[in-house]
Structure 1
Amino acid sequence: MTSRKRIFDLLRTINIASCQCPAHGYRGNIQVSNATPLKDYAFEIKCSTVRYGLGVTREVGQDLVNLNAKNVCVMTDPNVASLSPMKAVLDSLTRNGINYKVYDKVRVEPTDSSFKDAIHFAKEGNFDSFVAIGGGSVMDTCKAANLYYSDPDAEFLDYVNAPVGKGKAVNIQVKPMIAIPTTSGTGSETTGVSIFDYEEIHAKTGISHNALRPILALIDPLHTLTVPEKVSNYSGFDIFCHALESFTAIPFTERGPAPANPALRPAYQGSNPISDVWARFCLQTLQKYFVRSVNNSGDVEARSSMHLAATIAGVGIGNAGVHLCHGLAYPIAGNVKSFVPEDYGSNPIIPHGLSVVMTAPAVFRFTASSDPEKHLEAASLLGADVTNAKRKDAGRILSDVILLYMDKLKIENGLKALGYTNDDIPDLVKGALPQDRLLKIAPVTQSEEDLSKLLEESLTIY
């Protein structure tokens, strides 16, 4: 049964969108005003051009020729630098006569210091375009390098999201950027978001503006066949939470205030009918292919499907947004102590997808009251039997199915397994509070006590 809230949302939308000309009669409640509405009344979908296919990387050189590129900055990380995806990119550039320089020092889970190093490299060159080949860290670093290269007089915090930075709008023209993801998770190849760990506060923040979106994303499933098991696992849970968070985000008609100028409408606008389509597709794909893709790196069908799902999820979150799982994940990753995951080198690090999914069971128990039907639908798309399920049980049912996936894929047993205790919760809450942009997209408002409780419930999850 459709909830009253969703029915009234639909009626409000119809009332706004319906023709108001005299020929269609007077409906009795129409008031025309030039005042800016308190709540938003529209959403828009922006996305990078996406090209998907096995071996599509070979076309990047010709794409740069078509852009009339003469000198390209290629960014990657030390791991990808020696792998076949990087060779495919450089072969294509060489074959098409493109001059390039490679920056291969991108830090996995970048910091403001690592961003600044990449920005310095970019400013030393005379680049007319950028290519990122790697995971989300590479693409986010490349976006930042492109932005500050294009605005050389900007201070670093000028474009960083408020309240950490000034949140300045991007009014300069950035250079064309092509993104070639090698992992299946972040969806950064389609978004205008660049995330980093701001070392001063031990929490992640970022830069968010539509101008940062790559103009082209080349989605080549061949690259996923070299991704190690744990990387595939944790990256997959990033897709998982992208889909769930964008699907359950505050409706776009409830986000406010409406912008005085449409150019000021934020990238994260709340759930909407189009982003919901992407979320549903991702949840169905996860149900069918997630476990298969992790357990068998040679399963081309499964890894190809997850690679596409990551991009589709990126389109969804790039317009609807993510909320509490990501907002809480940033201090979880930023305050890492001694946790060293397999397949990620020897330095302490909490991979993004792992930090995000840690609180997911608690988060969706908390948000379920906002729209029980949608939470039940999400659980069903992930494989749960919701026949005769009660609305009051929606949070528990979705939480249980999330825990089932986490258990199947051997995700660590809560924040304690990552090195955290009850004593760390105040600092984690302190690190989450600056994520104002994300917390406001949650469908339920939260207090500091609520955030503390979500973290407490996530110390041990099984």
Structure 2
Amino acid sequence: MERNKLFQVFVPTCWLFGEGQLNHLHEQALPGKKALIIISNGKSTRANGYLDRTEKELHQAGVETSVFDKIQANPIHTTVMEGAKAARDFGADFLVALGGGSVMDATKAIAIMSTNDGTLWDYVASGTGKGKPIANKPLPMVDITTTAGTGSEVDCGGVITNTETHEKTGIVDLGIFPVLSIVDPELMASVPPKFTAYQGFDALFHSTECYISKPANLMSNMVASTAIRNIGKYLPRAVADGSDMEAREHVAFANTMSGYSMMTGSCTSEHSLEHALSAYHESLPHGAGLIMISLAYYRTFIKYHCCDDRFIDMARFLGMENADKPEDFLTALENLQKACGVADLKMSDYGIKEEEFEGFVKNARTVMGALFPADPYVLSDEDCVNIYKESYK
């Protein structure tokens, strides 16, 4: 498979990495004096003391704060608009995302809508979005990630769901790179095993997709392979023992590298196909949906022998040092899923029905069709339907 010799890197986010880095937030050059802190609609951010610690750090830096606590696991466009109103009403001059990928993604969209007119879908470039240019600079953001799954702390995109049209898609703009991100593995110790696995596989697939994609290059190969190696070695440990700080540290590092892999390369249609699932079935965690379709998805490309060398590489990255055929990647991936206790996830448990598959494919191509050209082989609609069928339990 031919690789790209030219690439461009622009990732302007300053990020602090390591245990205890939240304690140094007050020492940083912050982008304003009034911060809206954005968190999920769950209890963990408050219960684990992360909100109190963040507020204390910001107050120590002379920053006035308010809290918006309504972000869903799959954030929706109406909540984004509500968050933008909260930012304007408070007079926030910057935003702080305290949470996982959903919170960080929603904060990026809130940053846009805090300074621009209309609704979010006016600025979405796919599906029913109007694709208008973002006229006014979004509010600056500080990201404090409490999970390891999306790499959103170092990228310039966010995924939001429009519940009215069943569209789950990204909005991308250079103005929504966080100015500062804190990746502190201590904040991830409280994530339950199941969600540690879901998030870790999301990060893994960002990187496996980038590694086989057409835009792959020397830089994306470096960060993607590093992420794959770290997840393969340390994710089972993090799932088994959330207090294992060495494992948490390596999975957190892999997650941020997965963000860099997207900024230097591209995801493929695996993410498009999953977003169609969770756009219609909002209770489905994104990482779980990716796990469900992953073996059939990668098996399809292996069947077409479009990048055998890439799959052999990835099998070795996942620990099969003697891998010599592309199918070894499927074995390594299945073994990793078993080690993390997620090999038996069922679409049917989330209300997904087989008769929906053709509609999912249409949705994936309409809403997130931009990822399909990055595939190493051109998938037909029949290929995509078969991926769902082979994955169905």
Q: Same fold (TM over 0.5)?
A: yes
The answer as to 2:263 corresponding to 1:318 is: yes
- Matched-pair contact (CA < 8 Å) for 1:243–1:282: yes
| Corresponding residue of 1:409 | 340
Q: Give a deviation string over 1:409-442, Cα, whole Å, max 9, x none.
A: 2223442344323212122222212211222222
TM-score, with structure 2 as normaliser: 0.93
Shift of 1:58: 2.0
The answer as to 2:149 corresponding to 1:185 is: yes
Shift of 1:224: 0.9
Greater Cα shift, 432-441 or 293-302: 432-441
Shift of 1:156: 2.3
TM-score, with structure 1 as normaliser: 0.79
The answer as to 2:293 corresponding to 1:359 is: yes
Shift of 1:452: 0.7
The answer as to 2:277 corresponding to 1:332 is: yes
The answer as to 2:76 corresponding to 1:111 is: yes
Q: Which runs of 5+ in 2 are unaligned?
A: none
Q: Give a deviation string over 1:205-254, Cα, whole Å, max 9, x none.
A: 1211222110111111110111111111111111111110111111xxxx
Give matches, 1:140-159, under 5 Å: 140-151=105-116, 153-159=117-123
Give matches, 1:44-193, under 5 Å: 44-63=9-28, 66-67=29-30, 69-77=32-40, 78-79=42-43, 80-151=45-116, 153-193=117-157
In 2, the alpha carbon distance for the partners of 1:422 and 1:67 equals 50
In 2, the alpha carbon distance for the partners of 1:386 and 1:164 equals 48
Greater Cα shift, 104-113 or 44-53: 44-53
In 1, the alpha carbon distance for the partners of 2:290 and 2:284 equals 10
Q: Give a deviation string over 1:40-91, Cα, whole Å, max 9, x none.
A: x54334242221121111222332xx34622111111132133222221111
| Corresponding residue of 2:378 | 445
Shift of 1:302: 0.4
Amino acid at match of 2:126: A
In 1, the alpha carbon distance for the partners of 2:84 and 2:388 equals 35
Larger radius of gyration between Structure 1 and Structure 2: 1
Amino acid at match of 1:274: M
Backbone CA RMSD of aligned residues: 1.9
- Given the superposition, is the C-alpha separation of residues 68 and 277 from structure 1 closer, same or farther in structure 2, using an over 3 Å criterion? closer
- Given the superposition, is the C-alpha separation of residues 177 and 310 from structure 1 closer, same or farther in structure 2, using an over 3 Å criterion? same
Give matches, 1:178-217, under 5 Å: 178-217=142-181
Shift of 1:119: 1.9
For the residue of structure 2 that corresponds to 1:132, the secondary structure is strand
For the residue of structure 2 that corresponds to 1:433, the secondary structure is helix
Aligned pairs, how many? 387
Greater Cα shift, 354-363 or 292-301: 354-363
For the residue of structure 1 that corresponds to 2:125, the secondary structure is coil
For the residue of structure 2 that corresponds to 1:358, the secondary structure is helix
Shift of 1:285: 0.5
- Matched-pair contact (CA < 8 Å) for 1:365–1:398: no
Q: Give a deviation string over 1:261-287, Cα, whole Å, max 9, x none.
A: xxxxxxxxx222111111111111112
In 2, the alpha carbon distance for the partners of 1:363 and 1:110 equals 26
- Matched-pair contact (CA < 8 Å) for 2:81–2:113: no
Shift of 1:116: 1.9
Q: Which runs of 5+ in 1 are unaligned?
A: 14-40, 251-269, 337-347
Give matches, 1:377-456, under 5 Å: 377-387=313-323, 389-390=324-325, 394=326, 396-411=327-342, 412-434=344-366, 435-456=368-389
In 2, the alpha carbon distance for the partners of 1:71 and 1:166 equals 32
In 2, the alpha carbon distance for the partners of 1:94 and 1:458 equals 49
Aligned with 1:235 (options 188, 194, 199) = 199
In 2, the alpha carbon distance for the partners of 1:385 and 1:94 equals 50
In 2, the alpha carbon distance for the partners of 1:421 and 1:407 equals 25
Greater Cα shift, 210-219 or 408-417: 408-417
